[in-house]
């Protein structure tokens, strides 16, 4: 059975160091999960992901349901085999993706109907069948279907989202208990707290979901367009009502500084496309801030990508070469940038874990946040 153990706590913030054990694999928290929407962390091989240090990645149920579909995934005995990944996989349910399909989807009490953006076919995801799909995927951590409105939605929209998310969570929980997986492994089911940035709704959502006594709680509906300060206030509030002895997963966050600030607020798990997507646009995360390698000032700059980093990419390639690869549209450039950024994110989480362990986290994090340039010298 999955276990979560808190190994150390920061005395000045809610930050904590933990170990999450699932299917005989240990995840050190706080942890960042690289995003592999379609069963591939873009541009990289599975062994490269694990060489960086990652043993937990995210894939997307909605996208894998559409392509390649569950027949192929059943034949391959799950996503781990399909993509040849030996680590753990968390699968997002697709609530966020479906809600974004404005005009193509219909949210009903029984689930979310939508038209495939690929084939035009009609599909329906329900609290129950997203579990079936994730059973086939063999996800180690399955996310419940939720309703995820945007951060600038109305309170009424948020309230409806909370109500339906709660209803779906109860149905999902019942269904989950009555079914088994395909691969003789544990598959955790995680509810998602909604409520926008409204304290009353967040409390309402959490209090209902806590009754399910799940092993992990996710904070959804943030980093979806609301002001940064309101996001942080909402997470700070969640910290006061979510159980301390269970991992909290803040979905879709974020920048290096976002990660530090939310670890302070007691968040244990993160995922975000930022290190991988921004890499493909030329944005590299360096020790003192981001840069955009397409900027002409790197044309003849033969220094390592990040002089303060031991990243394999930094010690192998120069800024000038990477600039050249981006200018000539060489795919190798996307790989180098992606591997570099995922290395940076992994090392950042590792550093946070060390600083929490030595109870130096607040001092360290204050200094890092003060010194970190938040903006690239060129927009992505």
Chain residues binding its own copies by CB under 8 A are 38-40, 42-45, 67-68, 71-72, 75-76, 82-84, 299-300, 302, 316-318, 320-321, 323-325, 327-328, 330-332, 334-335
The reply to whether 92 belongs to the active site is: yes
Minimum distance from residue 339 beta carbon to its own copies (Å): 9
Least Cα distance to 196 among 217, 219, 176, 177 occurs for 219
User: Of the listed 140, 146, 271, 306, which one is catalytic?
Assistant: 271
Q: What is the nearest approach in angstroms of its own copies to the Cβ of residue 125? A: 19
**Per the residue annotation, which of 92, 146, 198, 239 is the catalytic one?**
92
39 vs 94, beta carbon nearer its own copies: 39
**Minimum CB separation from its own copies for residue 283, in Å?**
17
CB 38, min distance to its own copies, A: 4
Is the torsion defined by CA of 150, 154, 159, 160 positive or negative?
negative
Nearest to its own copies of 84, 100 (CB atom): 84
Of the pair 289, 304, the CB lying nearest its own copies is at 304
- Find out whether 219 and 238 touch, Cβ atoms under 8 Å: yes
Q: Assess contact for 65 and 79: CB atoms under 8 A.
A: no
User: How many angstroms separate the CA atoms of 58 and 369, rounded?
Assistant: 27
Complex with its own copies: residue 40 or 210, whichever CB lies closer: 40
CA distance 195 to 202: 5
The DSSP annotation for 97-163 comes to HHHH-TTTEEEETTEEEEE-TTT--EEEE-TTHHHHHHHHHT-SEEEPP-----TT--HHHHHHHHH
Catalytically annotated residues: 92, 271
């Amino acid at each position: 059975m999955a276990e979560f153990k808190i190994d150390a706590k920061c005395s000045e913030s809610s930050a904590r160091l933990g170990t999450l054990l699932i299917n005989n694999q240990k995840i050190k928290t706080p942890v960042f999960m690289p995003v592999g929407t379609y069963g591939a962390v873009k541009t990289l091989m599975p062994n490269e992901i694990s060489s960086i240090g990652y043993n937990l990645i995210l894939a997307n149920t909605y996208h894998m349901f559409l392509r390649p579909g569950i027949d192929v995934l059943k034949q391959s005995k799950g996503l781990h085999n399909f993509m040849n990944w030996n680590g753990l996989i968390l699968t997002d349910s697709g609530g966020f993706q479906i809600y974004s399909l404005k005009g193509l989807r219909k949210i009903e009490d029984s689930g979310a109907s939508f038209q495939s953006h690929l084939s035009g076919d009609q599909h329906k995801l329900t609290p129950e069948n997203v579990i079936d799909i994730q059973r086939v995927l063999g996800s180690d951590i399955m996310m419940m279907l939720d309703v995820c409105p945007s951060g600038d939605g109305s309170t009424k929209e948020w309230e409806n989202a909370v109500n339906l998310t709660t209803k779906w969570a109860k149905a999902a929980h019942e269904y989950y208990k009555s079914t088994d997986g395909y691969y003789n492994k544990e598959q955790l089911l995680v509810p998602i707290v909604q409520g926008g940035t409204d304290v009353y709704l967040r409390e309402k959502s959490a209090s209902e979901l806590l009754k399910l006594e799940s092993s992990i709680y996710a904070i959804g509906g943030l980093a979806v367009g609301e002001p940064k300060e309101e996001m942080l206030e909402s997470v700070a509030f969640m910290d006061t009502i979510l159980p301390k002895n269970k991992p909290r997963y803040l979905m879709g966050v974020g920048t290096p500084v976002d990660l530090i600030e939310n670890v302070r607020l007691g968040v244990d798990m993160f995922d975000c496309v930022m290190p991988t997507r921004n890499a493909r646009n030329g944005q590299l995360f360096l020790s003192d801030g981001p840069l955009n390698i397409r900027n002409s000032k790197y044309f003849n700059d033969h220094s390592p990508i990040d002089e303060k980093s031991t990243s394999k990419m930094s010690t192998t390639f120069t800024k000038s070469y990477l600039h050249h690869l981006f200018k000539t549209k060489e795919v190798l450039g996307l790989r180098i940038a992606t591997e570099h950024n995922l290395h940076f994110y992994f090392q950042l989480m590792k550093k946070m874990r060390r600083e929490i362990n030595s109870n130096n986290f607040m001092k360290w994090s204050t200094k890092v946040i003060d010194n970190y340039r938040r903006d690239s010298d060129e927009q992505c």
